[in-house]
């Protein structure tokens, strides 16, 4: 509670709150001293698992501004004041930090990182994931209007768009990336955007925008190359390759930081469940569904592999172990071989008539053919 006396405001700590903070204090004041050395406290907080019982805000302040009298120690009264100030921060910040600490290793929870997360207010937002999401929404709206068709959950797709991956125009190399901006129906769009925003923003908060961008774009490129090589006559639209790369990049994060990530086995179980569902659905949709599959499962597989391999290479590894250097090189070599093979096979595959003949006609012809097939209502 707060009391006001003229121009001064005082915060009064209740007995129940003080008792609560005392219990936490006693956990760390093992020598029953009048104060705890900030140097010792910093080492304890950053190295011991039991330190996670403290709120993240308190850890931030303890490591930066707790020592108000600058004597190199923190007293119980200083500790209580900090706890009371920080426990009233907005609820969404708690959720944001908790989500970020799922993917950040313990050794990376230094004062700078904690201070960033403590003050993080989504202004500015995670640059890449928010930007790519807005672009995909804008492109979807544009073509929904341009097609002038009733937009269903999973169709139609504007296959006439210069952004769509078109197997008859493989020489237009930009299509191997820009197909991610096109979606077939609102459910296709929503499913991809929800996953990439939730998982991508958390990764970007911890690993920075350019690392997440490399993971995402590598997944998009790997998805189109894999589809082109395995099903050469298939059109491709949707950000699933990039989304799967973001999702499976968490495996790369686990590989590099296993001993330091909170509850790694929980994350493994979640990833195994997701992978099992993905594989099971792909098998059912390909071989047992009543209608022929229109889902680009090879794009999903390519994106997932790229996410794991590129994740190992570019995501932050804040505590390097000797064996991780070998892991880094193995992932790098495998990725280069797979991507290089995909590119070469798309250019000079020595199999006659494997790919459809290239279409060099004007793009306007494709648009006219689309509207003949789907006349405006």
Residues annotated as catalytic are 240, 300
74 and 62 Cβ atoms separated by less than 8 Å: yes
253 and 223 Cβ atoms separated by less than 8 Å: no
Task: Collapse the DSSP code of 264 into the 3-class scheme (helix H, G, I; strand E, B; otherwise coil) and give the result.
Answer: helix
**What is the C-alpha separation between 264 and 108, in angstroms, rounded?**
15
**What is the C-alpha separation between 60 and 115, in angstroms, rounded?**
6
Q: Mind spelling out the 3-state secondary structure of 102-138? A: HHCCHHHCCHHHHHHHHHCCCCCCCHHHHHHHHHHHH
Dihedral angle computed from the Cα positions of residues 367, 229, 223 and 279, in that order, rounded to the nearest 10 degrees = 120
C-alpha distances in angstroms, 233 versus 84, 286, 315?
A: 64, 16, 35
**What is the C-alpha separation between 343 and 30, in angstroms, rounded?**
62
Number of H helices, E strands in the chain: 15, 4
Q: Which residue has the tokens 């250019």?
A: 347
**What is the C-alpha separation between 241 and 276, in angstroms, rounded?**
17
1 and 11 Cβ atoms separated by less than 8 Å: yes
C-alpha distances in angstroms, 43 versus 22, 38, 48, 281?
A: 21, 9, 8, 48
C-alpha distances in angstroms, 49 versus 59, 64, 261, 266?
A: 13, 20, 10, 16
* Structure tokens given for 262: 């909170």
Q: Closest Cα to residue 180, out of 161, 208, 167?
A: 161
């Amino acid at each position: 509670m707060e009391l006001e006396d003229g121009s001064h405001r005082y915060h009064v700590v209740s007995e129940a709150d003080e008792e609560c903070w005392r219990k936490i204090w006693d956990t760390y004041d093992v020598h029953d001293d009048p104060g705890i050395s900030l140097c010792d406290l910093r080492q304890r907080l950053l190295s011991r698992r039991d330190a996670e019982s403290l709120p993240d805000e308190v850890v931030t302040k303890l490591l930066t501004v707790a020592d108000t009298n600058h004597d190199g120690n923190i007293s119980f009264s200083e500790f209580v004041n900090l706890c009371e100030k920080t426990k009233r921060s907005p609820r969404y910040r708690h959720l944001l930090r908790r989500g970020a600490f799922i993917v950040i290793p313990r050794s990376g929870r230094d004062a700078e990182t904690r201070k960033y997360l403590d003050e993080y207010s989504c202004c500015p937002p995670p640059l890449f994931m928010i930007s790519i999401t807005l672009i995909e929404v804008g492109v979807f709206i544009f073509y929904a209007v341009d097609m002038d068709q009733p937009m269903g959950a999973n169709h139609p797709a504007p296959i006439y768009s210069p952004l769509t991956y078109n197997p008859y125009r493989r020489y237009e190399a930009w299509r191997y990336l820009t197909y991610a901006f096109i979606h077939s129906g609102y459910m296709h769009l929503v499913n991809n955007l929800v996953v990439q925003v939730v998982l991508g923003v958390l990764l970007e908060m911890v690993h920075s925008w350019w690392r997440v961008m490399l993971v995402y774009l590598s997944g998009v490129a790997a998805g189109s190359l894999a589809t082109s090589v395995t099903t050469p006559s298939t059109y491709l639209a949707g950000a699933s390759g990039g989304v799967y790369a973001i999702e499976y990049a968490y495996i790369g994060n686990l590989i590099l930081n296993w001993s330091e990530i909170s509850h790694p086995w929980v994350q493994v179980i979640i990833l195994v469940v997701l992978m099992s569902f993905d594989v099971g659905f792909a098998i059912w949709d390909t071989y047992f569904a009543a209608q022929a599959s229109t889902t680009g499962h090879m794009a999903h597989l390519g994106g997932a592999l790229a996410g794991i391999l590129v994740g190992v290479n570019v995501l932050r590894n804040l505590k390097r172990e000797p064996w991780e250097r070998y892991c880094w090189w193995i992932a790098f070599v495998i990725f280069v071989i797979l991507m290089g093979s995909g590119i070469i096979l798309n250019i000079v595959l020595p199999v006659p008539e494997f790919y459809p003949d290239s279409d060099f006609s004007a793009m306007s012809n494709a648009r006219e053919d689309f509207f003949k097939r789907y006349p405006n209502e």
